[in-house]
Structure 1
Amino acid sequence: MLKIGHRGAKGHVSENTLASFEKALDLGVNAIEFDVHVCATGELVVFHDFTVDRTTNGTGEVHKLSLAELKALKVEEDHSITTLDEVLQLLHSKCFINIEMKGRYTAKPLAELLRKYVEEKGYSYEDFIVSSFQYEELKQMSELNPNVHLGVLTQASVAQAWDWAVEFSAKAIHPHYSLLTETNVERAREAGFKIYTWTVNELEDIARLKKYGVDGIISDYPERL
Protein backbone atom coordinates (compact mmCIF):
# COMPACT_ATOMS: atom_id res chain seq x y z
CA MET A 1 0.00 0.00 0.00
CA LEU A 2 1.22 3.49 -0.83
CA LYS A 3 1.73 5.77 2.17
CA ILE A 4 1.01 9.11 0.52
CA GLY A 5 1.95 12.41 2.14
CA HIS A 6 -0.77 15.03 1.53
CA ARG A 7 0.83 18.19 0.10
CA GLY A 8 3.99 16.76 1.67
CA ALA A 9 3.52 16.41 5.40
CA LYS A 10 0.80 19.03 5.78
CA GLY A 11 0.15 18.18 9.42
CA HIS A 12 3.73 19.12 10.34
CA VAL A 13 5.16 21.66 7.86
CA SER A 14 3.65 24.33 5.59
CA GLU A 15 1.86 22.55 2.75
CA ASN A 16 3.32 22.16 -0.74
CA THR A 17 6.76 23.48 0.24
CA LEU A 18 10.10 21.77 -0.31
CA ALA A 19 10.45 21.52 3.48
CA SER A 20 7.10 19.73 3.67
CA PHE A 21 8.15 17.22 1.00
CA GLU A 22 11.45 16.59 2.80
CA LYS A 23 9.58 16.06 6.07
CA ALA A 24 7.27 13.53 4.39
CA LEU A 25 10.29 11.60 3.13
CA ASP A 26 11.78 11.68 6.65
CA LEU A 27 8.49 10.21 7.96
CA GLY A 28 8.83 7.23 5.63
CA VAL A 29 6.36 7.90 2.83
CA ASN A 30 6.65 6.00 -0.42
CA ALA A 31 4.49 8.56 -2.27
CA ILE A 32 3.73 12.29 -2.13
CA GLU A 33 0.68 14.19 -3.40
CA PHE A 34 0.69 17.87 -4.38
CA ASP A 35 -1.19 20.38 -6.55
CA VAL A 36 -0.17 22.44 -9.58
CA HIS A 37 -1.33 25.65 -11.24
CA VAL A 38 0.01 27.60 -14.22
CA CYS A 39 1.17 31.08 -13.27
CA ALA A 40 1.01 34.20 -15.47
CA THR A 41 4.44 33.60 -16.99
CA GLY A 42 3.65 29.99 -17.90
CA GLU A 43 5.53 28.01 -15.27
CA LEU A 44 3.85 25.25 -13.28
CA VAL A 45 3.88 26.11 -9.59
CA VAL A 46 3.08 23.82 -6.69
CA PHE A 47 0.22 25.40 -4.79
CA HIS A 48 -3.21 24.31 -3.62
CA ASP A 49 -5.54 27.31 -3.56
CA PHE A 50 -6.58 29.41 -6.54
CA THR A 51 -5.45 32.52 -4.63
CA VAL A 52 -2.36 33.12 -2.51
CA ASP A 53 -4.31 34.78 0.30
CA ARG A 54 -4.67 31.89 2.77
CA THR A 55 -1.09 30.68 3.07
CA THR A 56 1.11 33.62 2.04
CA ASN A 57 1.71 37.25 2.94
CA GLY A 58 0.30 38.31 -0.43
CA THR A 59 -3.01 38.51 -2.22
CA GLY A 60 -4.26 37.66 -5.69
CA GLU A 61 -5.00 34.79 -8.05
CA VAL A 62 -2.16 32.38 -8.77
CA HIS A 63 -2.73 32.38 -12.52
CA LYS A 64 -2.53 36.19 -12.67
CA LEU A 65 0.81 36.45 -10.84
CA SER A 66 4.21 35.97 -12.48
CA LEU A 67 6.73 33.47 -11.18
CA ALA A 68 8.87 36.35 -9.89
CA GLU A 69 5.88 37.79 -8.01
CA LEU A 70 5.04 34.38 -6.54
CA LYS A 71 8.66 33.75 -5.54
CA ALA A 72 8.70 37.08 -3.69
CA LEU A 73 5.96 35.89 -1.34
CA LYS A 74 6.46 34.07 1.93
CA VAL A 75 4.44 30.95 2.72
CA GLU A 76 3.54 31.03 6.42
CA GLU A 77 6.45 33.37 7.15
CA ASP A 78 9.54 31.36 6.24
CA HIS A 79 8.89 29.22 3.14
CA SER A 80 8.74 29.96 -0.59
CA ILE A 81 6.37 28.90 -3.34
CA THR A 82 8.08 26.21 -5.38
CA THR A 83 7.95 25.24 -9.03
CA LEU A 84 7.12 21.77 -10.27
CA ASP A 85 10.64 21.60 -11.73
CA GLU A 86 12.14 22.11 -8.27
CA VAL A 87 9.93 19.45 -6.72
CA LEU A 88 10.65 16.87 -9.40
CA GLN A 89 14.37 17.45 -8.96
CA LEU A 90 14.02 16.94 -5.19
CA LEU A 91 11.90 13.78 -5.40
CA HIS A 92 13.70 11.96 -8.23
CA SER A 93 13.99 8.25 -7.38
CA LYS A 94 12.80 8.85 -3.80
CA CYS A 95 9.06 8.13 -4.04
CA PHE A 96 5.99 7.76 -6.25
CA ILE A 97 4.50 11.14 -7.23
CA ASN A 98 0.82 12.11 -7.40
CA ILE A 99 0.37 15.44 -9.21
CA GLU A 100 -3.09 16.97 -8.99
CA MET A 101 -4.06 19.31 -11.82
CA LYS A 102 -5.74 21.92 -9.65
CA GLY A 103 -5.77 25.00 -11.83
CA ARG A 104 -7.30 25.29 -15.31
CA TYR A 105 -5.15 24.90 -18.40
CA THR A 106 -2.58 22.78 -16.56
CA ALA A 107 -2.84 19.70 -18.80
CA LYS A 108 -0.85 20.99 -21.77
CA PRO A 109 2.22 22.33 -19.92
CA LEU A 110 2.18 19.35 -17.56
CA ALA A 111 2.00 16.85 -20.43
CA GLU A 112 5.01 18.53 -22.03
CA LEU A 113 7.00 18.74 -18.80
CA LEU A 114 6.45 15.09 -17.91
CA ARG A 115 7.48 14.04 -21.41
CA LYS A 116 10.68 16.05 -20.98
CA TYR A 117 11.40 14.48 -17.59
CA VAL A 118 10.89 10.97 -18.97
CA GLU A 119 12.91 11.52 -22.14
CA GLU A 120 15.76 13.60 -20.68
CA LYS A 121 15.96 13.30 -16.90
CA GLY A 122 15.73 9.62 -16.01
CA TYR A 123 12.10 9.51 -14.93
CA SER A 124 9.61 6.84 -16.05
CA TYR A 125 5.87 7.26 -16.55
CA GLU A 126 5.56 4.60 -13.84
CA ASP A 127 6.90 7.18 -11.37
CA PHE A 128 3.81 9.42 -11.66
CA ILE A 129 0.08 9.52 -11.49
CA VAL A 130 -1.73 12.71 -12.55
CA SER A 131 -5.10 13.30 -10.91
CA SER A 132 -7.87 15.88 -11.17
CA PHE A 133 -11.49 16.63 -10.34
CA GLN A 134 -11.76 18.47 -13.66
CA TYR A 135 -13.18 16.65 -16.67
CA GLU A 136 -11.57 18.92 -19.26
CA GLU A 137 -8.09 18.66 -17.75
CA LEU A 138 -8.27 14.86 -17.61
CA LYS A 139 -9.60 14.73 -21.16
CA GLN A 140 -6.82 16.98 -22.46
CA MET A 141 -4.11 15.04 -20.69
CA SER A 142 -5.42 11.73 -22.06
CA GLU A 143 -5.26 13.18 -25.59
CA LEU A 144 -1.98 15.12 -25.31
CA ASN A 145 0.08 12.43 -23.63
CA PRO A 146 -1.68 9.05 -23.34
CA ASN A 147 1.42 7.62 -21.64
CA VAL A 148 0.60 9.59 -18.48
CA HIS A 149 -1.19 7.50 -15.85
CA LEU A 150 -4.41 9.23 -14.77
CA GLY A 151 -6.39 9.22 -11.55
CA VAL A 152 -9.95 10.54 -11.25
CA LEU A 153 -10.66 12.51 -8.08
CA THR A 154 -14.14 12.60 -6.60
CA GLN A 155 -15.77 13.98 -3.47
CA ALA A 156 -19.31 13.04 -4.48
CA SER A 157 -19.64 9.85 -6.53
CA VAL A 158 -17.51 6.76 -7.05
CA ALA A 159 -19.82 5.83 -9.94
CA GLN A 160 -19.12 9.09 -11.81
CA ALA A 161 -15.38 8.73 -11.22
CA TRP A 162 -15.61 5.17 -12.55
CA ASP A 163 -17.31 6.42 -15.74
CA TRP A 164 -14.61 9.04 -16.29
CA ALA A 165 -11.89 6.50 -15.52
CA VAL A 166 -13.26 4.22 -18.24
CA GLU A 167 -13.56 7.12 -20.70
CA PHE A 168 -9.98 8.30 -20.16
CA SER A 169 -8.37 4.86 -19.64
CA ALA A 170 -7.35 5.99 -16.15
CA LYS A 171 -5.30 3.79 -13.85
CA ALA A 172 -6.93 4.87 -10.60
CA ILE A 173 -9.91 6.36 -8.82
CA HIS A 174 -9.21 8.82 -5.98
CA PRO A 175 -12.38 9.03 -3.85
CA HIS A 176 -12.88 10.84 -0.56
CA TYR A 177 -12.62 8.14 2.09
CA SER A 178 -16.21 8.66 3.24
CA LEU A 179 -17.44 7.26 -0.10
CA LEU A 180 -15.68 3.93 0.25
CA THR A 181 -17.14 0.59 1.26
CA GLU A 182 -15.57 -2.83 1.20
CA THR A 183 -17.83 -3.66 -1.75
CA ASN A 184 -17.04 -0.71 -4.01
CA VAL A 185 -13.30 -1.03 -3.32
CA GLU A 186 -13.44 -4.69 -4.29
CA ARG A 187 -15.44 -3.95 -7.46
CA ALA A 188 -13.09 -1.18 -8.54
CA ARG A 189 -10.05 -3.35 -8.06
CA GLU A 190 -11.69 -6.22 -9.94
CA ALA A 191 -12.22 -3.77 -12.82
CA GLY A 192 -8.50 -3.01 -12.81
CA PHE A 193 -8.51 0.36 -11.05
CA LYS A 194 -6.25 1.32 -8.17
CA ILE A 195 -7.94 3.09 -5.27
CA TYR A 196 -6.06 6.01 -3.69
CA THR A 197 -8.19 7.68 -1.03
CA TRP A 198 -7.94 11.06 0.74
CA THR A 199 -7.50 12.78 3.25
CA VAL A 200 -7.39 10.26 6.07
CA ASN A 201 -5.97 11.38 9.42
CA GLU A 202 -7.76 9.39 12.13
CA LEU A 203 -6.30 6.02 13.14
CA GLU A 204 -9.74 4.35 13.18
CA ASP A 205 -10.43 5.40 9.58
CA ILE A 206 -6.94 4.37 8.46
CA ALA A 207 -7.43 0.89 9.95
CA ARG A 208 -10.83 0.50 8.25
CA LEU A 209 -9.49 1.51 4.83
CA LYS A 210 -6.53 -0.83 5.15
CA LYS A 211 -9.00 -3.60 5.89
CA TYR A 212 -10.87 -2.71 2.68
CA GLY A 213 -7.64 -3.23 0.75
CA VAL A 214 -7.15 0.23 -0.77
CA ASP A 215 -3.96 0.72 -2.77
CA GLY A 216 -2.94 3.97 -1.14
CA ILE A 217 -3.96 6.40 1.59
CA ILE A 218 -3.31 10.17 1.44
CA SER A 219 -2.78 11.71 4.89
CA ASP A 220 -1.63 14.95 6.50
CA TYR A 221 0.13 12.70 9.05
CA PRO A 222 1.84 10.04 6.95
CA GLU A 223 3.59 8.54 9.96
CA ARG A 224 0.16 7.21 11.04
CA LEU A 225 -0.05 5.04 7.92
Structure 2
Amino acid sequence: MLKIGHRGAKAHVTENTLASFEKALQMGCNAVELDVHVCATGELVVIHDFTVDRITNGSGEVHKLSLNELKALMVEGGHTIPTLDEVFDMVGKKSLVNIEMKGRHTAQPVSDFIERYVAEKGYAYTDFVVSSFQREELQNMSRINPNIPLGILTQASVTQAWEWADEFKAVALHPHYTLLTESNVTKAREAGYKIYTWTVNEPADIARCKALGVDGIISDYPERL
Protein backbone atom coordinates (compact mmCIF):
# COMPACT_ATOMS: atom_id res chain seq x y z
CA MET A 1 0.00 0.00 0.00
CA LEU A 2 1.19 3.51 -0.79
CA LYS A 3 1.72 5.78 2.20
CA ILE A 4 0.98 9.15 0.62
CA GLY A 5 1.95 12.37 2.38
CA HIS A 6 -0.78 14.98 1.86
CA ARG A 7 0.90 18.14 0.57
CA GLY A 8 3.98 16.64 2.22
CA ALA A 9 3.58 16.15 5.95
CA LYS A 10 0.90 18.81 6.36
CA ALA A 11 0.26 18.20 10.06
CA HIS A 12 3.91 18.83 10.91
CA VAL A 13 5.35 21.34 8.41
CA THR A 14 3.62 24.00 6.31
CA GLU A 15 1.90 22.29 3.38
CA ASN A 16 3.42 22.06 -0.11
CA THR A 17 6.87 23.29 0.98
CA LEU A 18 10.17 21.55 0.30
CA ALA A 19 10.58 20.98 4.05
CA SER A 20 7.15 19.36 4.22
CA PHE A 21 7.97 16.91 1.42
CA GLU A 22 11.31 16.13 3.05
CA LYS A 23 9.54 15.44 6.35
CA ALA A 24 7.08 13.10 4.61
CA LEU A 25 9.97 11.06 3.19
CA GLN A 26 11.63 10.95 6.60
CA MET A 27 8.37 9.60 8.03
CA GLY A 28 8.38 6.68 5.61
CA CYS A 29 6.14 7.90 2.79
CA ASN A 30 6.63 6.07 -0.49
CA ALA A 31 4.44 8.67 -2.25
CA VAL A 32 3.65 12.36 -1.85
CA GLU A 33 0.68 14.41 -3.04
CA LEU A 34 0.96 18.03 -4.16
CA ASP A 35 -1.05 20.72 -5.94
CA VAL A 36 0.01 22.76 -8.95
CA HIS A 37 -1.00 26.03 -10.59
CA VAL A 38 0.53 27.86 -13.53
CA CYS A 39 1.82 31.30 -12.54
CA ALA A 40 1.79 34.41 -14.74
CA THR A 41 5.22 33.67 -16.22
CA GLY A 42 4.28 30.08 -17.13
CA GLU A 43 6.03 28.05 -14.47
CA LEU A 44 4.30 25.29 -12.50
CA VAL A 45 4.24 26.26 -8.84
CA VAL A 46 3.30 24.05 -5.92
CA ILE A 47 0.54 25.64 -3.87
CA HIS A 48 -2.98 24.51 -3.01
CA ASP A 49 -5.14 27.62 -3.07
CA PHE A 50 -6.00 29.80 -6.05
CA THR A 51 -4.70 32.77 -4.03
CA VAL A 52 -1.60 33.23 -1.88
CA ASP A 53 -3.53 34.87 0.96
CA ARG A 54 -3.94 31.93 3.36
CA ILE A 55 -0.36 30.67 3.68
CA THR A 56 1.83 33.65 2.73
CA ASN A 57 2.39 37.25 3.79
CA GLY A 58 1.07 38.43 0.41
CA SER A 59 -2.22 38.53 -1.42
CA GLY A 60 -3.42 37.94 -4.93
CA GLU A 61 -4.27 35.19 -7.39
CA VAL A 62 -1.50 32.71 -8.16
CA HIS A 63 -2.07 32.80 -11.92
CA LYS A 64 -1.70 36.60 -11.98
CA LEU A 65 1.65 36.66 -10.13
CA SER A 66 5.05 36.07 -11.74
CA LEU A 67 7.46 33.47 -10.41
CA ASN A 68 9.66 36.27 -9.04
CA GLU A 69 6.69 37.80 -7.25
CA LEU A 70 5.71 34.42 -5.79
CA LYS A 71 9.28 33.66 -4.73
CA ALA A 72 9.44 37.00 -2.88
CA LEU A 73 6.59 35.94 -0.60
CA MET A 74 7.18 34.37 2.81
CA VAL A 75 5.22 31.19 3.43
CA GLU A 76 4.08 30.54 7.00
CA GLY A 77 6.98 29.02 8.94
CA GLY A 78 9.73 30.76 6.98
CA HIS A 79 9.39 28.84 3.70
CA THR A 80 8.98 29.84 0.07
CA ILE A 81 6.60 28.59 -2.63
CA PRO A 82 8.46 25.88 -4.60
CA THR A 83 8.31 25.17 -8.30
CA LEU A 84 7.44 21.65 -9.38
CA ASP A 85 11.02 21.27 -10.61
CA GLU A 86 12.37 22.15 -7.16
CA VAL A 87 10.18 19.51 -5.53
CA PHE A 88 11.40 16.87 -7.97
CA ASP A 89 15.02 17.94 -7.43
CA MET A 90 14.50 17.20 -3.73
CA VAL A 91 12.19 14.17 -3.86
CA GLY A 92 13.91 12.56 -6.85
CA LYS A 93 12.82 8.99 -7.39
CA LYS A 94 12.47 8.32 -3.67
CA SER A 95 8.70 8.27 -3.99
CA LEU A 96 5.83 8.25 -6.42
CA VAL A 97 4.46 11.78 -6.92
CA ASN A 98 0.74 12.48 -7.16
CA ILE A 99 0.40 15.82 -8.99
CA GLU A 100 -3.04 17.31 -8.52
CA MET A 101 -4.00 19.72 -11.30
CA LYS A 102 -5.56 22.35 -9.07
CA GLY A 103 -5.41 25.45 -11.27
CA ARG A 104 -7.02 25.87 -14.67
CA HIS A 105 -5.05 25.28 -17.86
CA THR A 106 -2.60 23.01 -16.06
CA ALA A 107 -2.93 19.90 -18.26
CA GLN A 108 -0.59 21.03 -21.04
CA PRO A 109 2.24 22.29 -18.81
CA VAL A 110 2.00 19.22 -16.55
CA SER A 111 2.15 16.97 -19.61
CA ASP A 112 5.18 18.91 -20.89
CA PHE A 113 6.83 18.58 -17.49
CA ILE A 114 6.32 14.81 -17.33
CA GLU A 115 7.42 14.38 -20.95
CA ARG A 116 10.65 16.21 -20.13
CA TYR A 117 11.33 14.05 -17.08
CA VAL A 118 10.65 10.84 -19.03
CA ALA A 119 12.75 11.90 -22.03
CA GLU A 120 15.67 13.56 -20.27
CA LYS A 121 15.85 12.36 -16.66
CA GLY A 122 15.15 8.65 -16.83
CA TYR A 123 11.73 8.72 -15.26
CA ALA A 124 8.93 6.33 -16.23
CA TYR A 125 5.30 7.35 -16.61
CA THR A 126 4.56 5.07 -13.67
CA ASP A 127 6.59 7.40 -11.40
CA PHE A 128 3.65 9.83 -11.62
CA VAL A 129 -0.07 9.94 -10.99
CA VAL A 130 -1.89 13.07 -12.18
CA SER A 131 -5.22 13.73 -10.50
CA SER A 132 -7.91 16.39 -10.56
CA PHE A 133 -11.49 17.18 -9.63
CA GLN A 134 -11.77 19.22 -12.81
CA ARG A 135 -13.35 17.47 -15.76
CA GLU A 136 -11.83 19.88 -18.28
CA GLU A 137 -8.25 19.30 -17.09
CA LEU A 138 -8.70 15.51 -16.97
CA GLN A 139 -10.22 15.52 -20.43
CA ASN A 140 -7.39 17.67 -21.79
CA MET A 141 -4.70 15.48 -20.22
CA SER A 142 -6.23 12.28 -21.60
CA ARG A 143 -6.28 13.86 -25.05
CA ILE A 144 -2.81 15.45 -24.90
CA ASN A 145 -0.96 12.43 -23.50
CA PRO A 146 -2.82 9.15 -22.87
CA ASN A 147 0.39 7.64 -21.45
CA ILE A 148 0.17 9.70 -18.28
CA PRO A 149 -1.56 7.81 -15.43
CA LEU A 150 -4.71 9.66 -14.40
CA GLY A 151 -6.54 9.63 -11.08
CA ILE A 152 -10.12 10.88 -10.70
CA LEU A 153 -10.73 12.86 -7.51
CA THR A 154 -14.19 12.92 -6.01
CA GLN A 155 -15.80 14.14 -2.82
CA ALA A 156 -19.32 13.28 -3.90
CA SER A 157 -19.71 10.05 -5.85
CA VAL A 158 -17.61 7.00 -6.60
CA THR A 159 -20.01 6.21 -9.45
CA GLN A 160 -19.35 9.54 -11.14
CA ALA A 161 -15.59 9.14 -10.67
CA TRP A 162 -15.83 5.69 -12.23
CA GLU A 163 -17.70 7.09 -15.25
CA TRP A 164 -14.98 9.70 -15.75
CA ALA A 165 -12.30 7.06 -15.24
CA ASP A 166 -13.84 4.94 -18.00
CA GLU A 167 -14.14 7.96 -20.28
CA PHE A 168 -10.60 9.24 -19.74
CA LYS A 169 -8.93 5.82 -19.36
CA ALA A 170 -7.72 6.63 -15.87
CA VAL A 171 -5.79 4.17 -13.73
CA ALA A 172 -7.07 5.23 -10.30
CA LEU A 173 -10.06 6.54 -8.38
CA HIS A 174 -9.33 9.06 -5.60
CA PRO A 175 -12.50 9.09 -3.48
CA HIS A 176 -12.90 10.81 -0.12
CA TYR A 177 -12.60 8.09 2.51
CA THR A 178 -16.20 8.56 3.69
CA LEU A 179 -17.42 7.30 0.29
CA LEU A 180 -15.68 3.94 0.55
CA THR A 181 -17.61 0.71 1.04
CA GLU A 182 -16.52 -2.89 0.82
CA SER A 183 -18.64 -3.22 -2.30
CA ASN A 184 -17.36 -0.24 -4.28
CA VAL A 185 -13.73 -0.88 -3.38
CA THR A 186 -14.01 -4.52 -4.45
CA LYS A 187 -15.80 -3.66 -7.70
CA ALA A 188 -13.33 -0.91 -8.58
CA ARG A 189 -10.33 -3.13 -7.97
CA GLU A 190 -11.91 -5.97 -9.96
CA ALA A 191 -12.32 -3.47 -12.82
CA GLY A 192 -8.60 -2.76 -12.63
CA TYR A 193 -8.63 0.59 -10.85
CA LYS A 194 -6.35 1.56 -8.00
CA ILE A 195 -8.03 3.23 -5.04
CA TYR A 196 -6.15 6.13 -3.47
CA THR A 197 -8.26 7.66 -0.72
CA TRP A 198 -7.96 11.02 1.07
CA THR A 199 -7.49 12.76 3.59
CA VAL A 200 -7.44 10.08 6.26
CA ASN A 201 -6.06 11.26 9.61
CA GLU A 202 -7.78 9.41 12.44
CA PRO A 203 -6.36 5.98 13.39
CA ALA A 204 -9.79 4.30 13.28
CA ASP A 205 -10.45 5.62 9.76
CA ILE A 206 -6.98 4.58 8.62
CA ALA A 207 -7.57 1.08 9.99
CA ARG A 208 -10.92 0.88 8.16
CA CYS A 209 -9.37 1.93 4.85
CA LYS A 210 -6.62 -0.64 5.25
CA ALA A 211 -9.20 -3.33 6.03
CA LEU A 212 -11.07 -2.42 2.84
CA GLY A 213 -7.89 -3.06 0.87
CA VAL A 214 -7.24 0.35 -0.67
CA ASP A 215 -4.05 0.81 -2.69
CA GLY A 216 -2.98 4.03 -1.05
CA ILE A 217 -3.93 6.40 1.76
CA ILE A 218 -3.35 10.16 1.61
CA SER A 219 -2.82 11.60 5.10
CA ASP A 220 -1.62 14.73 6.90
CA TYR A 221 -0.01 12.36 9.44
CA PRO A 222 2.28 10.01 7.49
CA GLU A 223 3.56 8.43 10.70
CA ARG A 224 0.08 6.97 11.34
CA LEU A 225 -0.06 5.04 8.06
Q: TM-score range by the shorter chain?
A: over 0.9
How far did 1:183 drift?
0.8
Answer whether contact 2:36 2:101 (CA < 8 A) is retained: yes
Answer whether contact 1:129 1:150 (CA < 8 A) is retained: yes
User: Is the aligned partner of 1:94 residue 2:59?
Assistant: no
What amino acid does structure 2 have at the position aligned with 1:116? R
How far did 1:49 drift?
0.3
* Structure-2 separation of matches of 1:117 and 1:170: 20
RMSD between aligned alpha carbons? 0.5
Give per-residue Cα distances to partners, 1:10-48, cap 9 Å, x unaligned. 000000000000000000000000000000000000000
Match of 1:114 in 2: 114
Match of 1:145 in 2: 145
* Structure-1 separation of matches of 2:144 and 2:115: 10
**Structure 2 gap ranges (5+):** none
What TM-score do you get using the length of structure 1 for normalisation? 0.99
Match of 2:220 in 1: 220
**Structure 1 gap ranges (5+):** none
1:181-196 mapped onto 2 (5 Å cutoff) = 181-196=181-196
* Structure-1 separation of matches of 2:214 and 2:109: 31
* Structure-2 separation of matches of 1:75 and 1:193: 36
* Structure-1 separation of matches of 2:72 and 2:3: 33
* Structure-2 separation of matches of 1:72 and 1:92: 25
How far did 1:89 drift?
1.5
Answer whether contact 1:36 1:84 (CA < 8 A) is retained: yes
Match of 1:40 in 2: 40
The total of aligned residue pairs comes to 225
Q: After the TM superposition, which parts of structure 1 deviate over 4 Å for at least 4 consecutive aligned residues? A: none
Match of 2:123 in 1: 123
* Structure-2 separation of matches of 1:5 and 1:115: 24
Identity of aligned residues (%): 72
* Structure-1 separation of matches of 2:97 and 2:202: 23
Answer whether contact 2:150 2:172 (CA < 8 A) is retained: yes
Match of 1:24 in 2: 24
* Structure-2 separation of matches of 1:54 and 1:190: 41
What TM-score do you get using the length of structure 2 for normalisation? 0.99
* Structure-1 separation of matches of 2:142 and 2:195: 19
Match of 1:65 in 2: 65
* Structure-1 separation of matches of 2:4 and 2:137: 23
Answer whether contact 2:14 2:77 (CA < 8 A) is retained: no
User: Is the aligned partner of 1:52 residue 2:52?
Assistant: yes
How far did 1:93 drift?
1.4
Q: Any idea what SS the aligned residue of 1:89 has?
A: helix
How far did 1:77 drift?
4.1
